[in-house]
Each structure stands twice: as C-alpha cells, then as structure tokens.
C-alpha cells in the first residue's frame, strides 16, 4: 500500500493551510510558498504518472482504509488512465494559474492589518487543487461526493472575493455583479450536488456500499430498471451542472466574466473537468444500462451546447464571456464524445479534457494580461495590439487557433477523434456538430481581428509587451499545445486502456466499419 | 425490561387498598444525573436567599458548572456501566426509563447546558454600567422597563443571578423529558422545563419590552399546547386504563385485554386512541417547532436574550425530539400505519415551510429561528424511518445540531452596536473585512447548517436521509434535498453579506468576549468539524444508543 495518492492531494491541502497562516505583512512569502507547494505537487503528480502502468490493473496505486463504517464509506483511492491524465493536467496548470495571478490579490488598502486577501487567494487556489485532485483519485462514491461538494466553498470565495478589477461600471457595480456571479455559481452547483446526494443515498440503499473497486471485482449491483434510471439522472444532473451542459450552463459566463482570469481558468480548465470526468467514471460505470437509455437525449443536449455556445460566443462584446461560451461549446464536444460510446469518442473526449485545459488556459491567461493592461474587458476597446505588443498578440493567436482546433495544435486531435467517434455511431449528430468548428473559427478569428489587428487605438498606444513572469506562464503552454498537437501518443497511451474498460462496462463495441479496410 | 417487570404507580394505587402503599422504590444511582441537577438548582435558590449579592454571581456559576459537569460524569458512568445497553431498564417505579437514547440525549443536553452556562455568565460584551460588569440579563426583572426603579437597580449593580437556578431547573426537566416512561411524568417534565424557559425569555437587559412580549407569547402558546397534551393524556388514559407507556403499547397491540371496570365504557375505543395520540404528539411538535405548530419560534428566538435563545434552540429540541421518539417508538409502534402518513406530511411542510420563509428574513435571529424549523423537518425525516437506524441517526443529528446552534448564537452575541446586539442582517455587511476570524467561524456554522460536506451538518443530514430512504421514505429524501437547496440560499446570503459586501461606516463592532464565550464558540467549531470529518466514533455511540427499553 502506498500513500502516493494521498500525498498528492494532501500536499496542496497542507500548503493551503500554511499559506493562509502567513502573516499579513509577508505577502510575497505567501505567494512564493504557494508556488513552491504547487510545483512540489506537480512533482508528485509526475511520479504518479511514471509509476502508473497503462497495461496494468484497472485501478492502480490503490489505498483503502475504513472511514465511516455506518455509512459504508471507505477512504479508497485509486487511479485509472483517465484520472492520471487529469491529475497531471491539474497539477500542471495550478503553478501557471498562481503565477498568472501573482498581483491579482494585492490588497488595495494596506491599512487594515486583519484583512489578508493575498494569503487567502493563494490558499484558496491550493485548496481547490487539493479537492480536485482527490476527486479524481476517489474510488468511493461518497468520498468523491464529499469533495465534489466541498470544492464549491473555496471556489465560491475565489469568485466572489477576488473579482476582476476591470469593470466598465466602477467598483460598486463590480462588487454587486461579483457576488451575484458567486451566488449563482454556488446555488447552481449546490442544487445539482444536493440532487446527487439523494441519488447517492439511493445508491447506498440499493448497493450497500460505495466502492468502485468492489464494483470492478464483483460487477454492478442489481437494481430495477426504473431505480437505475432515477439514480443515473440524479448523478448526471450534478455533473451536467458542473460540466456545464446546456441548459444548466448559465452560471459559467457570469462566473468567468466576474472572476480574475486565473480563477476563470481554474473554473473552466480544472474544476469543470471533474464534471465530465465523473460522467465517465460514475455515470457509465455505475449505471451502464441507464447510460445507454439516456444517450440519445444527452447527445442532443450536447449538440445544442456545441452550437448554442458557439453562436453566443460569436455575439459577445466581452472577451471573458466569449471564452466562457466557447468553453460551453467545447464541453458539448466532450460530453458528446463520452456518450457516443465508441473508443475514439471517449479517448477523444478524455484527450479533449486535457487539451481544452491547456488551450483555454493559454487563451484566457493572455486575455487576462491584455485586460490588466487596458483595464477593460470589452473587445471594442482594443485594436492594433499586435503592432504594440507583438509577443502578446502572437501567443493570443496561438491560444485562439488552438481553441478553433487548428490542425497541428493539440485540440485538433481530440476534436477530430470525438467527431469520428460520434460519426461512426450517430452520423447525423456528427455532421451537425462539425458546424461547431466553423463557428469556432468565426468567433476566435473575429476576436483576434478586432483586438489585435487594424489601426492602433489611442488607449492601446504604449502598451507594454509580455513581461518575464507572463512569458514564463505562456511559453510552456504554447509549447505543450504544439507538442501534443504533433505527438499526442503519450496521453492516448495512458488513456486508451481505461477507455476500453469503461466501454466494456457499458458493453458497447465499436461499430464495424462499413467499408472493409484494404487488405 | 420484560413487560411483567413494568409497574404502574397509578394503576397499582387505584386497585390496592390504601394501607398497602409502601415506600416507592427509587434507583438513586440511575437517576443521579437528574437528581444532581435539580439538587443544584435548589442550592442555587438558597444562594439567592442567603449569599451576599456581590459574590452571588460567582457562587451561582460555580455551582451550575460543577453540577452539570458532575451530572455529565454520572451519565458517562452509567453508560460505561452498561445502563445504555445490557442493563437498560425502567427506574422509579416505572416512571423513568434509563436506556441508550435517554442517556445519549441527557449527555447532549448536559453538554449544551454547560456551554449555555458559559454564555449566560458572559459579562464582557456590554460596557460596564456604573462601574459594574453586566451580563445579558436585566438588572432587576421585576422593574418596569424605563422606570426609575430600573435605573436604580442598574445603578446599584443588581444582577438577575436567578437565571442560573432557572437554567438548572429547565435542564432538570429536559433530562426527565426524553426519559419519561409514563404520560404523567412526561407532562410534569414538560412543565418543569417550560416554565423556567418562559421566565428566562423575559429577562433580557436590552430591548426589554420585546423580550417580555416574546415571553408572553411563548407562555400563552406553550400553555395552550400543554393543555392539548394534558387533554390527550386524559384521552389515552381513557383508552388504555393506564398512563404507563408499556401498558398503553400492549393495549394498542391487543396483548392486554383485561378491562378496568371503571373504564369499561371507553377502554379500547380507537377514537380515543387516535385523538389522544394526535393531541399528545401535537404538544411535542409544538416544542420541537414543527410546522404548523411553529408560530412562536421566530418571535421567541428574536425576543429572548441571545444566550437563552441559543440554549433553548439546542436543548429544547434535543429533549422534545427524545420524548417524541420514545412516544412513537415505544408506545405507538402498533399505530405506525396511522401516524406515519401524518408525520410524513408534517415533515414535508416543516422542511419546506422553514426553508422558504427563512429566505425573506432580515434579522439574523429570526433567520436562525426559521432555519431551526427547517432542521426540525430534517430530524422528523429520521423519526419517520421507524428503525434503529432512524433512532441513532436522529440522536446523532441532535448532538451535532445542538453544538452548531449554541456556537452560532454565541457568535450573534458578539456583534454589537450602540443598541446592544446588532441582529439586523444589513448591519452584518462587511463583517468579514473587519473581523475575519469571527466571520469565518460564523461561516463554518452556516455551512454546517446548510449541510456542506466535512461539517457535522452534512454527516447528520446524510444519516437521517439514509435512514429515511432505507425506511422506504424516498419522497421525503427528495423533498429534503430540495429544501436543503432552498435553505442553502439564505445561509449563503449571510456569507455573501459578511465577506463580499462593503462594510457600512456606522456598522457594528465585534466585542472581544471572555474565555467563557470563547469556549462555547470554540467547542462548537471543534465539534462541528470533528463530527464532519471523523463521525464514526459518534455514530457508533449513537448506534449503540439506538434501542429503547420497554
């Protein structure tokens, strides 16, 4: 029995406590502490990645301890390929998020000794990291649920307490809208979580335990068809809010718009992944029959998400809202890939989760740097930036091209896989979904054109290019985007066996190709 | 434990010739927790009469804390001696049951009582008047508010130290209430703990008229409910020919057919049983504050001195739910097909009613009052389960809830402005900026109320909902989670207000309390987090205590 998985989650949790305890005057110490802790977590995640054997058991590096006997709850951790990939993504992104948000929480007023926003900001980010990692690791439904829910609290404070300082209507309005966004985020997710709680309890009544590892050995507990469907819906509802899937998506644009760019990345690139991950791990594994039963409806919702999100992204005036709606569109692709029930679709969806994390981080963080320079989120306030700050504009372009899945950049591979996988089983849905790519090209290129090209606006004049800290954030992400675009094999190798197993859980085989392969 | 071992004081007296009444057989050891507390209350009265005014406060606090701690030690000793499980039995000639649920609830009430004494004894929050430290209670409860005699009393440095014996009497009654094993003991215990509480509600130092109004409302409605209970008891006596729980249960089951000659006309009449049950249960539902018997809660919670509110909200609920559980599980299991649908309905309207009305509240104490109503609904969901799991889940919930409640109200006492406690929600704006620690602690309590994982509120909620779902009440669970979602809204609204709103320039300050209130709050936080993260030990405790003796 190893404690590696526990350590990977516990380290940022302890780091969060330590960061929160740093005295008010030592603001910079808190930042460095958080950064070091997040880098150390990255090291641990890398060890997990190395120790994980893609050809080995389904759940590896497992830990199992009794926890709350009365509720049948065990402290059970274990990772499959999908979890490993997402843990690596999370651990990878957090240092960039911390670095990007280096000055976001510097206190405006220094007179109040008790108010220590900086320490709080970085401690909350680390707390979120810990909870996200442990939800990827948990193989006990209840354990997962606890952190799935508890994660909302630090997220809520990050959104509501540390908003974007660039606001068109001044600080008063910003404060109101910020707490509105935070409350909306929390209520949506809490409602989803509580519905799931009813389903979790129902699952316990049926199964008598919560352990995925037991299920992997003994098979899914017997349950009546209608029970299975209700429980599936309870779980899926929570994940669909988190993911977010149309029509439960409306919290995301508010939350991303009002929070600082690093926090927006944290929401969409890290926390929301728990939702799509949980669909794969819990919905499909615990309720295979109900998952197949619900597939058509979910595919339609995913398709609506893709088109609707992309259409709304085209019409946004606010950069961060635009990225939010683009993300909704992308989450549609991920969910479509999961429920297409083909190996390409699900591998693509998992890969998509990783790539979307990286590409959104790149785009959003650069957008954040841009916004912090000009103090406005409105697209119309910019123009000609590429002449003033060419490096900024260049990285912004790469982030944008990744978002529209340009071949050669990482998201292309995953989007292609998802579309192929969906087309194999549901050709019509696959065809309509390709519209999403066209729209993506529209909204990213228009965004780039309006902000970066054209005559240099007066306010943009003299805008500094990316600083060293900002380059350190962006450069690795860009490198990764290109690397995984050309050579996605490292990720797919890890992910594929897990996807095969998930598919065998739902007893689906890939449809036979209609055209025989050339001998 | 067997049915034959059960005596009924009252029926024996009616049938045997008078000269045969012997001395009652009292198990002093098993009753010691109650006896210690009531004895201390009487000592408290003597202190009021004979001890010089200056040291009364110290004497009273000392006696109260020592007595409650001793009583708690007695409860622990009894539980360790097996009186909660193997040696559980009926004491005091059939009047009192000493069993797992009784001991668990008595322990909870005593701990709540100790923390209650701490908050009662707090004298650092209000600025000193005429050089005398003052607590939350009126200098002289009998003087008319605003009159010269009140001013004179304040100037003389009087203090209503009677609150301590009153508190002890209330705790004594509460200790008997969940252990009462016949209807008359139940009623007497009800009155013994209610009357001191009515008085305690009336003695606030600030906003005295509001406090007195609250007390009068509480008293009138409470007396009304008591009358119902008493009437119901009479009807049940008519039905069963006995007030003993065991005997009534046997008559309900049909295992006892002998008819008391004087009651031949009424015995076994189901109409009496149903109406009588409904009335007694109504009285108990009034005490737990379940809809539609909840009307008193917001006014009383708001008007009463906050330490009293905190204690009352925690301990009364524990005692009353204990009595309700015993009544339903011991006396009326044979009738559960009749009472379950009714309790279903009560639980549903209580959960939804409490949660929905709370949304519109603007006063923190009223908000917590409605929240307590919603919690009563959640606890009822566990009561309905009619299984040992149901009992232990309710016990666990009550234990978890009472510490959160006392802690939360203790925090309310800290936030003050010139007019005393600043309970209007708008005044709490930006508290998180000015006093991050106090706001964070209050946020922990609110999150526990909302049932967020890793707090005791979640463990408790999960326990009762699990028991309800296993008992076939899936619909209750669904309503429960929906009302939890509604309830989450207003808890979160307070958190938003504290952390995300700009502080108001003339806003309240946070008083630095003495170690007494700090202890109450600290214990509340620790228990909330421990029960949230590692609840197994306490679930075991509640699980072992899940069986009633009959």
Residue B329 lies in a domain: yes
Domains held by chain A: number: 1
Domains held by chain B: number: 1
- CA dist B200 and B198 (Å) reads 6
Give the number of C-alpha atoms closer than 13 A to the C-alpha of residue B109, restricted to the C-beta side. Answer: 35
Q: What residues in B contact A204, CB-CB < 8 Å?
A: 466, 469
Q: What residues in A contact B450, CB-CB < 8 Å?
A: 190
Closest CA to B288 of B322, B254, B260: B322
- CA dist A40 and A49 (Å) reads 14
Residue B219 lies in a domain: yes
Q: What residues in B contact A161, CB-CB < 8 Å?
A: 499-500
Q: What are the residues whose beta carbons fall under 8 Å from the beta carbon of A217, sequence distance 6 or more?
A: none
| Chain B nearest CA to A118, separation (Å) | 13
**What does B402-464 look like in DSSP terms, one character per residue?**
HHHHHHHHHHHHHEEETTEE--BGGGGTTHHHH-HHHHHHHHHHHHHHHT-TTSHHHHHHHHH
Q: What residues in A contact B437, CB-CB < 8 Å?
A: 114
Looking at residue B335, the DSSP 8-state letter turns out to be G
Strands, E assignment, A53-126: 60-68, 73-79
The token pair at A216 is 């992997």
Where in the sequence is the domain holding B400, given as residue range(s)?
Answer: 3-126+162-544
Decide: B247 and B256 in contact? Cβ < 8 Å: yes
Closest CA to A61 of A107, A117, A9, A4: A4
- Residue-level pLDDT, tens digit, chain A, 519 residues: 578 888 888 889 898 888 888 777 777 888 888 889 999 999 988 888 888 888 777 788 888 888 887 777 888 888 888 888 899 999 989 998 888 888 777 776 655 555 667 888 888 899 999 999 999 988 888 889 988 988 888 888 888 877 766 555 666 777 778 888 888 888 888 888 888 888 888 888 888 778 878 877 777 777 888 888 888 998 999 999 988 888 888 888 888 888 888 888 888 888 888 999 998 888 888 888 888 888 889 999 999 999 999 999 888 888 888 888 998 999 999 999 888 888 888 888 888 888 898 988 888 888 888 888 777 788 878 887 888 888 888 888 888 888 888 888 888 888 888 888 888 888 888 888 888 888 888 888 888 888 888 888 777 777 788 888 888 888 888 888 888 888 888 888 888 888 888 787 776 666 666 665 554
The end-to-end CA distance of chain B, in Å, is: 6
- A175 → closest Cβ in B469, B502, B543: B502
Number of Cβ atoms within 10 Å of the Cβ of B176: 28
Residue B378 has pLDDT above 90, yes or no: yes
| Confidence category of residue B12, pLDDT binned at 50, 70, 90 | very low
- Point out the least confidently predicted range of A5-9, A502-506, B317-321, B341-345: A502-506
- In chain A, the residue whose alpha carbon lies closest to the alpha carbon of B435 is A114
Q: How far is CA B495 from the centre of its chain?
A: 26
Query: What are the phi and psi torsion angles at B435 (to 5°)?
Result: -135, 80
| Chain A nearest CA to B344, separation (Å) | 17
- A198 → closest Cβ in B437, B478, B536: B478
Note if the bond before A244 is cis, omega within 30 degrees. Answer: yes
Residue A515 lies in a domain: no
Best of B387, B395, B474, B485 to substitute, by most chain A Cβ atoms within 10 angstroms, is: B485
Residue B137 lies in a domain: no
pTM, to two decimals: 0.87
Decide: A421 and A345 in contact? Cβ < 8 Å: yes
Looking at residue B295, the DSSP 8-state letter turns out to be T
Number of Cβ atoms within 10 Å of the Cβ of A79: 27
The token pair at B503 is 């502080």
- CA dist A380 and A317 (Å) reads 7
Residue B275 lies in a domain: yes
Decide: A154 and A186 in contact? Cβ < 8 Å: no
Task: Please identify which residue in the block is written with the tokens 């929070």.
Answer: A259
Query: What are the phi and psi torsion angles at A64 (to 5°)?
Result: -150, 120
Q: What are the residues whose beta carbons fall under 8 Å from the beta carbon of B518, sequence distance 6 or more?
A: none
Interface confidence (ipTM) of the complex: 0.82
- In chain A, the residue whose alpha carbon lies closest to the alpha carbon of B472 is A205
Residue B86 lies in a domain: yes
Decide: B521 and B442 in contact? Cβ < 8 Å: no
Q: What residues in A contact B540, CB-CB < 8 Å?
A: 69-70
Angle at B544 between CA A63 and CA B81, to 5 degrees: 120
- Mean pLDDT on B68-88: 89
Where in the sequence is the domain holding A472, given as residue range(s)?
Answer: 4-107+115-505
Residue B355 lies in a domain: yes
- CA dist B394 and B416 (Å) reads 35
Residue A514 lies in a domain: no
């Amino acid at each position: 029995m190893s404690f590696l998985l526990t350590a990977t989650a516990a380290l940022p949790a302890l780091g969060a406590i330590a960061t929160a305890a740093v005295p008010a005057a030592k603001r910079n110490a808190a930042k460095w502490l958080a950064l070091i802790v997040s880098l150390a977590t990255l090291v641990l995640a890398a060890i997990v990645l190395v120790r994980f054997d893609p050809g080995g058991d389904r759940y590896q590096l497992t830990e199992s301890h009794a926890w709350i006997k009365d509720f049948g709850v065990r402290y059970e951790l274990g990772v499959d390929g999908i979890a490993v990939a997402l843990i690596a993504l999370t651990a990878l992104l957090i240092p960039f998020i911390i670095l990007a948000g280096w000055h976001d929480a510097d206190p405006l007023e220094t007179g109040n000794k008790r108010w220590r926003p900086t320490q709080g900001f970085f401690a909350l980010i680390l707390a979120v990291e810990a909870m996200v990692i442990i939800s990827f690791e948990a193989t006990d439904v209840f354990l997962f649920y606890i952190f799935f829910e508890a994660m909302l609290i630090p997220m809520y404070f990050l959104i509501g307490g540390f908003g974007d300082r660039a606001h068109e209507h001044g600080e008063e309005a910003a404060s109101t809208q910020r707490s509105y966004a935070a409350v909306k985020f929390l209520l949506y997710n809490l409602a989803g979580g509580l519905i799931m709680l009813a389903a979790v309890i129902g699952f316990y009544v049926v199964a008598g335990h919560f352990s995925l590892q037991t299920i992997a050995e003994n098979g899914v507990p017997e349950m009546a068809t209608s029970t299975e469907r209700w429980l599936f819906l309870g779980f899926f509802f929570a994940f669909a809010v988190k993911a977010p899937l149309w029509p439960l998506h409306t919290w995301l644009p508010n939350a991303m718009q009002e929070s600082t760019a690093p926090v927006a990345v944290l929401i969409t690139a890290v926390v929301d992944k728990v939702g799509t991950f949980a669909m794969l791990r819990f919905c499909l594994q615990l309720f295979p029959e109900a998952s197949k039963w619900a597939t058509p409806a979910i595919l339609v919702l995913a398709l609506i998400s893709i088109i609707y999100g992309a259409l709304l992204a085209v019409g946004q005036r606010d950069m961060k809202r635009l990225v939010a709606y683009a993300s909704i569109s992308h989450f549609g692709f991920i969910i479509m890939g999961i429920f297409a029930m083909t190996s390409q679709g699900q591998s693509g969806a998992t890969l998509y989760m990783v790539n979307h994390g990286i590409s959104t981080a790149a785009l959003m963080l650069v957008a954040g740097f841009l916004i912090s320079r000009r103090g406005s989120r409105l697209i119309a306030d910019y123009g000609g930036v590429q002449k003033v700050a060419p490096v900024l504009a260049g990285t912004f372009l790469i982030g944008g091209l990744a978002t529209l899945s340009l071949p050669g950049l990482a998201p292309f591979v995953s989007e292609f896989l998802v579309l192929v996988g969906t087309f194999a089983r549901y050709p019509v849905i696959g065809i309509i979904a390709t519209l999403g790519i066209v729209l993506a090209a529209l909204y990213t290129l228009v965004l780039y054109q309006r902000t970066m090209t054209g005559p240099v606006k007066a306010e943009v004049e003299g805008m500094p290019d990316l600083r060293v800290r900002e380059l350190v954030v962006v450069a690795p992400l860009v490198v990764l985007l290109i690397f995984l675009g050309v050579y996605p094999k490292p990720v797919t190798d890890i992910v594929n066996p897990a996807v095969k197993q998930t598919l065998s859980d739902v007893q689906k085989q890939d449809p036979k190709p209609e055209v025989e392969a050339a001998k | 434990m067997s049915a034959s071992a059960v005596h009924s004081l009252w029926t024996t007296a009616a049938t045997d010739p008078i000269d045969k009444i012997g001395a009652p057989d009292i198990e002093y050891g098993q009753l010691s927790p109650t006896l210690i507390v009531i004895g201390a209350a009487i000592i408290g009265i003597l202190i009021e009469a004979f001890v010089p005014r200056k040291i009364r406060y110290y004497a009273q606090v000392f006696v109260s804390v020592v007595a409650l701690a001793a009583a708690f030690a007695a409860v622990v000793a009894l539980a360790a001696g097996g009186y909660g499980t193997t040696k559980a039995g009926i004491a005091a000639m059939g009047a009192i049951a000493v069993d797992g649920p009784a001991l668990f609830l008595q322990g909870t009430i005593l701990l709540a009582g100790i923390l209650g004494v701490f908050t009662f004894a707090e004298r650092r929050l209000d600025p000193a008047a005429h050089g005398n430290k003052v607590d939350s209670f009126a200098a002289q409860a009998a003087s008319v508010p605003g009159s010269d005699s009140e001013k004179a009393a304040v100037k003389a440095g009087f203090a209503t130290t009677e609150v301590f014996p009153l508190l002890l009497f209330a705790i004594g009654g509460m200790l008997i209430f969940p252990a009462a094993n016949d209807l008359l003991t139940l009623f007497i215990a009800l009155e013994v703990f209610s009357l001191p509480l009515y008085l305690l509600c009336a003695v606030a130092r600030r906003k005295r008229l509001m406090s007195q109004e609250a007390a009068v409302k509480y008293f009138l409605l409470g007396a009304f409910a008591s009358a119902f209970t008493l009437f119901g008891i009479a009807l049940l006596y008519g039905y069963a020919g006995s007030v003993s729980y065991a005997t009534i249960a046997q008559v309900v089951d049909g295992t006892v057919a002998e008819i008391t000659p004087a009651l031949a006309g009424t015995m076994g009449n189901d109409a009496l049983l149903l109406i009588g049950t409904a009335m007694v249960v109504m009285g108990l539902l009034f005490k737990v504050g379940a809809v539609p018997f909840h009307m008193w809660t917001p006014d009383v919670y708001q008007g009463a001195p906050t330490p009293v509110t905190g204690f009352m909200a925690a301990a009364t609920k524990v005692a009353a739910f204990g009595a309700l559980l015993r009544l339903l599980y011991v006396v009326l299991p044979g009738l559960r097909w009749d009472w379950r649908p009714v309790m279903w309905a009560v639980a549903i309207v209580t959960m939804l009613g409490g949660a929905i009305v709370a949304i519109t509240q603007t006063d923190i104490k009223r908000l917590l009052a409605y929240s307590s109503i919603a919690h009563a609904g959640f606890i009822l969901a566990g009561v309905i389960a009619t299984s040992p799991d149901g009992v232990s889940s309710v016990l666990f919930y009550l234990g978890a809830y009472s510490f959160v409640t006392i802690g939360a109200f203790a925090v309310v006492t800290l936030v003050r402005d010139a007019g005393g406690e600043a309970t209007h929600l708008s005044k709490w704006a930006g508290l998180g900026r000015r006093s991050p620690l106090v706001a964070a602690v209050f946020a922990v309590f609110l999150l526990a109320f909302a049932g967020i994982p890793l707090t005791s509120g979640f463990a408790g909620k999960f326990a009762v909902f699990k028991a309800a779902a296993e008992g076939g009440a899936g619909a209750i669970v669904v309503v429960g989670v929906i009302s939890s979602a509604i309830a989450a809204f207003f808890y979160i609204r307070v958190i938003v207000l504290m952390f995300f709103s700009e502080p108001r320039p003339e806003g309240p300050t946070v008083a630095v309390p003495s170690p007494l209130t700090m202890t109450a709050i600290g214990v509340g936080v620790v228990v909330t987090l421990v029960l949230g993260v590692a609840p197994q030990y306490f679930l075991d405790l509640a699980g072992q205590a899940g069986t009633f003796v009959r």
